[in-house]
Amino acid sequence: MFTRIARWLRDRRNAKTESEAAWRAAIATGPDGLTGFERDAIAAIEAIAGRLSCERSGRNDQPTLSARVPKCDLVLTLWGEDAQLQSVHGKIIYRRERWDFVTPQESIRELAKTVASAIESSEYVYSARL
């Protein structure tokens, strides 16, 4: 019994260390001013929806990237390692923070899956097409 608990604690500690290392690399800011998470999230969304035209705003200590997602009426907002999707009418359909995922790759996969579902859904198609 004690051995199982000790192994579980060791595994939890190792998993936490691995998660922290993955996120540390993802939130490092590159020469372009973007974090690795932002860069990878943009690439994943562009692979699904097409080119994003991102605008930077916010304070220097917490810059924000926003972009209208092609093929649907959604706005993507990224804050370092956090992401949000909302309709152009204000309904938030996705909001996740770093702490919701073990790795940045998990977070980006979930975000991309949500965008793909929104594009397929008639609820978020371009208003101009309705």
Report the DSSP beta bridge partners of residue 59: 62
Q: Which pLDDT does position 108 carry in this prediction?
A: 95
The boundaries of the domain holding residue 77 are 2-129
Tens digit of each residue's pLDDT (9 = 90 or more) over 43-52? 999 999 999 9
Q: Please tell me the pTM assigned to this model.
A: 0.80
User: Residue 129 above 50 pLDDT?
Assistant: no
- Please state, rounded to an integer, the average pLDDT across all residues of the chain: 84
Phi, psi angles (nearest 5°) of residue 102: -70, -40
| CB-neighbour burial class of residue 31 (10 A; exposed 0-12, middle 13-18, buried 19+) | exposed
Tens digit of each residue's pLDDT (9 = 90 or more) over 24-62? 888 888 898 889 999 999 999 999 999 999 998 877 667
Work out how many domains the chain is built from and give that number.
Answer: 1
